[in-house]
């Protein structure tokens, strides 16, 4: 009989456990990060702001302080351009729209969303605007000074940029089989309409299985990116790095940090 090295067996088992123990929240955040390049706020409705400082715990940002409270000036730049996003998980999501009889000035019908795996999701957002920290190099210098003065926790991360949405609908399945039927009352044709369209009023008619539902909520901050101080073993000086890995020319010596920092 061929004997396996015990460490090889443990590694194989751990990989299988990781595959089967991935939570719906992790599956949602991993796919959102992979395709949109930003971390997805968890829970999707949690408040978050530029200049917030805290720690990442199992996929969730926990606020501990702010740049302002640390005596560091926090200026924010906001893009004027707005955009709409409709994104659905690559597997396990089916959307069926049925229009009913209605007056000429409106459209009524139902939108049924069926999920066939945990972590399958629908993410629709309208009026997305980008906000980012201004004068990032100056802020980085002040943070590194705070770090050297032992006033900055090495586990802290800084919310450096985020998207706010005028309206958003986020539905995530917590079961291997679940679904929701939404009643739609719209000023536009509901066929192909966004679930975050301000001209579409949605109400939950029925649900099946376990889901996290945010339907037609306003003024959310569903996506963000962040930075942290990294004290590299081969360098005498700490550096300020983007966790998301976005190439920002204002800051030198940065490195990409994987989404595992968020989820683990």
More confident residue, 124 or 17: 124
At residue 191, the pLDDT reads 79
- By C-alpha distance, which of 180, 246, 217, 198 is closest to 84? 198
Integer-rounded Cα radius of gyration of the chain: 22
Instruction: Give the percent of the chain with pLDDT over 90.
Output: 59
* pLDDT, mean over the chain: 81
Digit-coded pLDDT (tens) for 194-243: 999 999 999 999 999 999 999 999 999 999 999 888 764 444 556 666 66
pLDDT-wise least confident of 9-23, 99-113, 117-131: 9-23
At residue 22, the pLDDT reads 65
Q: What's the whole-number mean pLDDT along residues 139-161?
A: 91
Residue with tokens 């893009």: 79
Instruction: Inform me whether the pLDDT recorded for 154 exceeds 70.
Output: yes
Instruction: Inform me whether the pLDDT recorded for 253 exceeds 80.
Output: no
Instruction: Inform me whether the pLDDT recorded for 152 exceeds 50.
Output: yes
- CA dist 168 and 257 (Å) reads 28
Locate 24 and state its tokens: 């719906």
pTM greater than the 0.85 cutoff: no
- CA dist 125 and 114 (Å) reads 20
Instruction: Inform me whether the pLDDT recorded for 1 exceeds 50.
Output: no
Residue with tokens 């019908």: 109
């Amino acid at each position: 009989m061929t004997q396996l090295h015990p460490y090889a067996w443990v590694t194989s088992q751990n990989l299988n456990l990781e595959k089967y123990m991935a939570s719906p929240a992790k599956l949602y955040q991993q796919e959102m990060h992979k395709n949109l390049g930003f971390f997805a706020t968890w829970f999707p409705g949690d408040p978050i702001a530029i200049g917030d400082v805290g720690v990442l715990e199992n996929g969730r940002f926990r606020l501990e302080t702010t740049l302002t409270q640390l005596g560091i000036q926090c200026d924010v730049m906001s893009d004027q351009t707005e955009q709409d996003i409709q994104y659905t998980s690559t597997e396990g999501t089916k959307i069926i729209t049925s229009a009913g009889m209605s007056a000429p000035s409106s459209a009524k019908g139902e939108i049924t969303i069926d999920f066939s795996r945990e972590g399958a999701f629908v993410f629709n957002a309208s009026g997305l605007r980008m906000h980012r920290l201004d004068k990032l190099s100056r802020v980085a210098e002040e943070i590194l000074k705070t770090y050297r003065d032992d006033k900055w926790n090495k586990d802290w991360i800084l919310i450096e940029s985020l998207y706010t949405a005028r309206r958003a609908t986020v539905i995530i399945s917590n079961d291997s089989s679940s679904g929701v039927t939404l009643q739609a009352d719209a000023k536009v044709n509901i066929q192909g309409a966004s679930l975050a369209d301000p001209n579409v009023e949605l109400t939950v008619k029925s649900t099946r299985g376990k889901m996290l539902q945010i339907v037609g909520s306003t003024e959310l901050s569903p996506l963000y990116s962040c930075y942290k101080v990294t004290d590299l073993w081969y360098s005498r000086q700490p550096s300020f790095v983007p966790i998301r890995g976005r190439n920002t020319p204002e800051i030198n010596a940065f490195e990409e940090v994987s989404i595992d920092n968020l989820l683990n």
